[in-house]
Structure 1
C-alpha cells in the first residue's frame, strides 16, 4: 500500500508562524517611529505656548488637514472668496486643490462610527505600518545588519513627521511601495492599483505613472516585448485614472473640469512649470522663522529648530545622491539592479524634482517624505554610511518635528 500523504496542517501552521515573525520588524519600526515622535512632541510647545499632546488629534492637524477633512465630510466646493468673505482678496476659495484618495479613505472608515478626526489618524497610522511592512518585504524580509539599519532609517525618515499627520503622505507612500512590489512580482494589476491610489492621493503620486511606463525597459522579463510594453502601458494608464477620478469628483461638485487648475493658478500662482533651481533657492530661503513663537515660549528644541528646513533641504539632496550612489555601487558590483531597485530609483529622483518643477516652496519637505521608497536601495550602502545617515536623520527628525508641533510648518 502507498503511504498516506503527510497532513498539510503543519505546513500551514509553519507559514502562519513565519508570517507573524515577519511582521515583527515592521511593527517594531512603527512603534519606534511613534515613540520618537511622541518624545519630540513632548519637547515642543504649541502655537499658544501650551504643551503638545501627541495622542490628541489636534496635534496631527495642520493647514491642509482642514481641507482633507472637509472633502471627507462634504465633498468638493469652489467659490469666489468675496462671495462669503467681503474683505478677502479677489481669489478663488475652496478645497479643489487637494486630491481625494486620502479623504475618501477617511470617509469610508467613518462608516464604523469613528469621528472624522480619529478616522484620519487611523488611516494614516495603518498606512504607515503597511508602508513598513511592504518595505520590509522589498528588503527581502531577512534580518541582517543592512536591512536592520535601513528599517531604522525608515523609522526617522527625513520629513517623516508628516507620515504621522492628517495628510495623504503615509497612504501615498504605501501605494507607491505597493506599485513597486507589483512590478517586482510581475503583477501588472497590483502595480496599477498601487499607482492609481498614489496618483489619487497627491500630485507627487503621479510619478508612479512615469515609473510604470518606463517599467517596459526593466520589468516583465518573462514576457515577449509586445506584452511587456502592453503591461507597462496598461498599468500606467490605470494609474493615471487616479488623476481622472479626482478631476471627475471635482467636476461633479463644481461643474468645472479645470477646477484644480483654476484654484492653483488664481489663488496659489501655480500650475505652470517652474525653473527648478530658482525654486530650490526660494524654498531654502522661505522665512519659516517669522512664524515661530516668541522667544519666551520656546523650548530648547524649538530654538534649535528655528530654521530646520535648511538642513532638511541638504539632507534630502544628500539622500537622493546616496540612492543614486547605491544604485551605481550595485551596478558596478553585481552588474545589475533588480526590478524593485530600478522602480525605486526612478520614483526617488522623480519625487525629489517634482515639487521644484511645480513650485511648492512651502511644502516640498512633506512631498519629499515620499522618497521613503528609495530605502529599497539604501540597503546596498556600506554599513558605516547607513549608520551616519541614521544619525543625521534622527537629529533632523527631531528638529523638523519641533517646527511641525509649534505650527510653523504647513
Structure 2
C-alpha cells in the first residue's frame, strides 16, 4: 500500500521539473543574446559588454529612468536648449508602469539602471513560465519548439533591454491566464499592468471587451457581459493612472497628447499600409550607422528592420491561419486561443495605426502571446520558423547593440 506522502512525492517532483523548460528557454535566450553582443560593436567602436546595464540602454531608456528618478516633466525645448527646435520636450510620452517598478526595486539599494535590467529579465523569465503553463506544461516536440521560438522571438532583444516590453508582455500573458481560468479579477489586473506599461497594452482592453463572446462560458449572458465590461474598464484604468500622474506633474490632462503631436507628429489614426511602407523605408543605416570598420554581423544587420517586417507579417499570417484551420476542423477555439489571436492581431496593427515608424519592431515583440497558437502548427512549419527567427534575432540584436536602433 502506498502512503499519502509517497503518492504526493512524484507529483511534487513533477512540478519542480515543470519549471525546467521555461528556465532553460530563459537561459538560452540570454546565451544567444550574449553571443550576438560579443560579435557586435558599439556605436563608438568599443566592444559590447552584455552584462553591463549600459549595453541594455537606448534612447527611450533615458526617459523611463528619468521618470523613475524624478517623475514626469514637460517644457518647451528652447527654455533649456536655445538651439533646439521650438517643440515640447519632457518624458510625458512614456507610461509609468515600468518606471514605478524600477523606483520600487531601487529602494533595496540597487542602482536604477540595475533595477531596470533586473525587472526586464525577471519579466522575461515570468513570460516563459506563464507561456509554459498556457501550453499545458508538458514537454513535447510541439511545446518544446514553441519555447525555442520564444527564445529567439522577433524583436526579442528588447525583452533584455531597459524597456517595458518584457513587463508589458508578461502582463498580457497574465491577462490571458485570467480569461482562461475564468477569473475576471486576474484578467483585469493583467490588463491594468499592460496598459500602465505601454500604449500597446490597449490591446488587452479590446480583447477583454470582446471576451463576453468567447469566455466566461459557465455564466449567463448578462454575467458574461458584466465580467467583460468590468475587466475591460479596470484594465483601461492603467491609462487613467498614467494620465493622472502626468497631470499631477504638469497640470495638463492632455500632456501625453501635446508632446506626441508637437515632438513626434503623432496623434489620431493613420493609414496602416502607408505607415508600413514608411517604417520599411526608414533610413536607420544612414542616420545611426557606427563609423569605422564594422564586424560582419553588424554590417549585414544595418537594414535588418526590413526583414524583421517581412517576418512579422509572416508570423501574424501564420497565427491567423492556424486559428482558421482550428475553427474549420474543431469548430471552436479554446478561450486562451481566442484571447491570444485578438491580442496578436491588435498588437501588429497598433503601431501602424498610431504612426510608430521608429519603434514598431519593439512593439511587435509583444506578439509573443501568439505563441499560444503556434503550439498547434506542424513541426514542418515550426522548425523553419525557428531557423528564420534565429537568423533574424541575430541581425536585429546586432543592429540594437551597434546603437543603430532606438
Shorter-normalised TM-score: what interval? over 0.9
Cα deviation, residue 304, structure 1: 1.1
Give me the whole-angstrom Cα distance separating, in 1, the residues matched to 2:6 and 2:206. Answer: 44
Match of 1:297 among 286, 293, 318: 293
Give me the whole-angstrom Cα distance separating, in 2, the residues matched to 1:226 and 1:272. Answer: 33
The structure-2 alpha-carbon separation of the partners of 1:11 and 1:86, relative to structure 1 and needing over 3 Å to count, comes to farther
Q: Per-residue displacement from partner, 1:81-129 (whole Å, max 9, x unpaired)?
A: 1111111110111000000000001111111111100000000000000
Give me the whole-angstrom Cα distance separating, in 1, the residues matched to 2:5 and 2:197. Answer: 41
Q: Per-residue displacement from partner, 1:224-269 (whole Å, max 9, x unpaired)?
A: 1100000000000000000000000000111110000000011111
Structure 1 match to 2:143: 147
The answer (yes or no) to whether the contact 1:149–1:387 under 8 Å persists in 2 is yes
The structure-2 alpha-carbon separation of the partners of 1:191 and 1:11, relative to structure 1 and needing over 3 Å to count, comes to farther
Structure 1 match to 2:364: 368
Cα deviation, residue 20, structure 1: 1.5
Match of 2:23 among 8, 22, 27: 27
The answer (yes or no) to whether the contact 1:110–1:116 under 8 Å persists in 2 is yes
Cα deviation, residue 332, structure 1: 2.1
Structure 2 match to 1:182: 178
Cα deviation, residue 14, structure 1: 4.3
Give me the whole-angstrom Cα distance separating, in 2, the residues matched to 1:360 and 1:65. Answer: 17
Structure 2 match to 1:203: 199
The answer (yes or no) to whether the contact 1:91–1:267 under 8 Å persists in 2 is yes
Matched ranges for 1:45-56 at <5 A: 45-56=41-52
1:229 aligns with 2:225: yes
1:115 aligns with 2:111: yes
The structure-2 alpha-carbon separation of the partners of 1:15 and 1:256, relative to structure 1 and needing over 3 Å to count, comes to farther
SS state at 1:312 partner: helix
Give me the whole-angstrom Cα distance separating, in 1, the residues matched to 2:250 and 2:4. Answer: 57
Match of 1:271 among 254, 267, 273: 267
The answer (yes or no) to whether the contact 1:45–1:297 under 8 Å persists in 2 is no
Structure 2 match to 1:281: 277
User: Structure 1 runs of 4+ off > 4 angstroms?
Assistant: 6-15
Q: Per-residue displacement from partner, 1:130-163 (whole Å, max 9, x unpaired)?
A: 0000000000111110111000000000000001
Cα deviation, residue 330, structure 1: 1.3
1:333 aligns with 2:299: no
TM-score computed with the length of structure 1 as normaliser: 0.97
The structure-2 alpha-carbon separation of the partners of 1:85 and 1:235, relative to structure 1 and needing over 3 Å to count, comes to same
SS state at 1:331 partner: helix
Cα deviation, residue 306, structure 1: 1.6
SS state at 1:142 partner: coil
Tell me, which stretches of 5 or more residues in structure 2 are unaligned? none
The answer (yes or no) to whether the contact 1:209–1:237 under 8 Å persists in 2 is yes
SS state at 1:112 partner: coil
TM-score computed with the length of structure 2 as normaliser: 0.98
Aligned length: 405
Give me the whole-angstrom Cα distance separating, in 1, the residues matched to 2:101 and 2:205. Answer: 21
SS state at 2:123 partner: helix
Structure 1 match to 2:354: 358
Cα deviation, residue 278, structure 1: 0.7
